[in-house]
Amino acid sequence: MKTKLLIEQHFHGCFGIDFNKASVDDVLYLSKEILKYGIGGIFPTIVTDSVENTKRAISVIKEASTKQTKDMAKILGIHLEGIFINPEKKGIHNPEHFKLPTVENFKLIEDDFIKIVTLAPELDNGLINYLKEKNIKIQAGHCVGGDLDGCNGVTHLFNAMSPITHREKSTTLSALVNDEIYTEIIADGVHVSDDALKLVFKTKPLDKVILISDCLPCTKSDLKEFTFADERVYYDGIKATSKEGTLAGSTTLLPDIIKRLANAGLFTPEYINNPYKYHNIDLNGSIEWDTNWNILKVNI
C-alpha cells in the first residue's frame, strides 16, 4: 500500500520538544526526525500561554520554517489552540492567560503564519468574521456552544467540549450532524473510546474526518515528568495527566494511531487525504506500508 505523506495539524511537540518553549534548532530537529515517521507536513500547535510567550513561540516557529531543508517535514503554519477558549472547558490550559475572542485581543499576537485558530464560538465578539476574512481556519474547541456558524471544524471532537445531549444543541452533537464541518479526532485509544469512534465514522462524511495526535513533548522520548501549559504533567507509559488526572494530550504519533485503528478495523486510507483537502495544499513524497500498516519506506 502506498499513500501520501501524513499531515499533522494538531500536536504540541515530541522527542522532548515543546513548541511553546522550543528554539529554532529544536523545531528544525523535530521536523527532520518526524519525517522519518511518514509525517511530511506539520502545523505546530501552541497551547495557551502569555501574550509575550505566545509571540516568542510564533516567531521561533516562523523563523525555523525559513531554514528548512528537503529532509524535513514542511512547517505549514501554526495552530493556535488556546487564549480564546471557554474556562468551563479549559482542560489542561491555564485560565490566567485566557482572553475574550475579539479582534483587538487577537491583534496582540497576530501573525500571518497562524493558519488555524481554536476558539469558543459562544464567546465570540467579532473575531470569527475577522479570521474568515484572513482565510484562517476557525475551529470550535474547549467550548460549550452548539452554534458552529462560521466555523470550519472542531478541535479534538468529544474532548473539552459539551457532549451529546438529546434535548438541546451541544458542540459535539452539532459537529456530528453538520456534514460541512471537519472533525479532528484523537484516536489513540485513550481520549475517545472505540464505540465513540465508530459513531463518528458512521456519522461523518468520509472526507470530513481528520486524524490528529495532539501529542505532547514526552512522545518518543524518555520524559516521564515535565511542565506543560504551566502544569506539572506525569506520563505513566500510557497516558499523560496532571496531578488531578486531567488528560494533557496524547503520547502517540499519527502512524501508531493509524496502525491501532487498522487493527481494530476502523481505518480507511481516505483519512490520510483529508488534511490536504482541508488546507488546499499538496506535498511531494509518499509512504509505503505493509499489510499491517507498518511503515516500510518514506519517499521524499
Q: Which residues are catalytic?
A: 214
Kindly state the cell numbers that stand for 257. Answer: 494511531
Is residue 141 a contact partner of residue 69, using CB atoms and an 8 Å limit?
A: no
Q: What does each C-alpha distance from 35 to 82, 197, 200, 285, 298 come to in angstroms?
A: 26, 27, 28, 10, 8
**3-state SS of the chain: helix, strand, coil percent to 5?**
30, 25, 45
Q: How far apart are CA 292 and CA 28, in angstroms?
A: 31
- DSSP label at 221? S
Q: How far apart are CA 75 and CA 68, in angstroms?
A: 8
Helices first, then strands: H and E counts in the chain? 8, 18
Is residue 102 a contact partner of residue 126, using CB atoms and an 8 Å limit?
A: yes
Q: How far apart are CA 81 and CA 268, in angstroms?
A: 27
- Residue 91: closest CA among 238, 251, 229: 229
- DSSP label at 292? T
